[in-house]
Amino acid sequence: MALLTLHDTQTGIKRLLTAMFDVGAHSSWYTADKPHAAAAADYQQLFDAYCQLIQQAYNEAAPWWEGTVEAERNKGLSQEDALEAAFNNRMAGPASDPRVVWIVRVIWLECANRNAMMPDTEKIRPEYLLLQWLVDAGETELVRLIACMPYWPVGLDEHGKWC
């Protein structure tokens, strides 16, 4: 069964892949994105670990989210209204599951750590690794999960470092 969501996945992908350009977080080194096959082995291994972790999180988050929507239906709401009510209570929908948020943060920060040790030409934008590589791998349901996030659960500290 497809993940229950209100939002258009393509809109979510575009929003998340372009969001960090607004803060200029990669402007000192970013020139172009690399596909998984062209990336350094460190990033490929990180992505492979991420795929396993996010799949496990999906396997727990999807039924939890279905239960959340069902609880709204049990209040007498239609399926559409129940889904909307569930999103009103948890704006990231199934991606608000703490495991999903934690995995995205951990992998983002690890990618940033690897970027700090790589020459500019080898760096990978964390959001590209987290989302576009899933798209490229054909992981439709995992993409739908991540695309539910209204924003990336990370920030920049006073020194411009991801936190």
| Per-residue pLDDT tens digits for 68-80 | 999 999 999 999 9
Residue 130 pLDDT more than 80? yes
Tokens of 136: 């490229």
So where are the chain's domains?
A: 9-147
Lowest mean pLDDT among 2-6, 47-51, 90-94, 101-105: 2-6
Alpha carbon distances (Å) from 97 to 60, 67, 163: 9, 13, 19
Which letter does DSSP use for residue 20 in this model?
A: G
Q: How many helices (H) and strands (E) does the chain have?
A: 7, 0
pLDDT tens-digit map of 79-93: 999 999 999 999 999
pLDDT tens-digit map of 12-30: 999 999 999 888 777 677 8
The whole-model pTM stands at 0.94
User: Residue holding tokens 């030409």?
Assistant: 121
Residue 152 pLDDT more than 80? yes
Dihedral sign for Cα 21, 155, 107, 140, please: negative
Compute the half-sphere exposure of residue 30: CA atoms within 13 Å on the CB side of its CA. Answer: 15
In this structure, what are the phi and psi dihedrals at residue 7, rounded to the nearest 5 degrees? -95, 150
Which letter does DSSP use for residue 97 in this model?
A: S
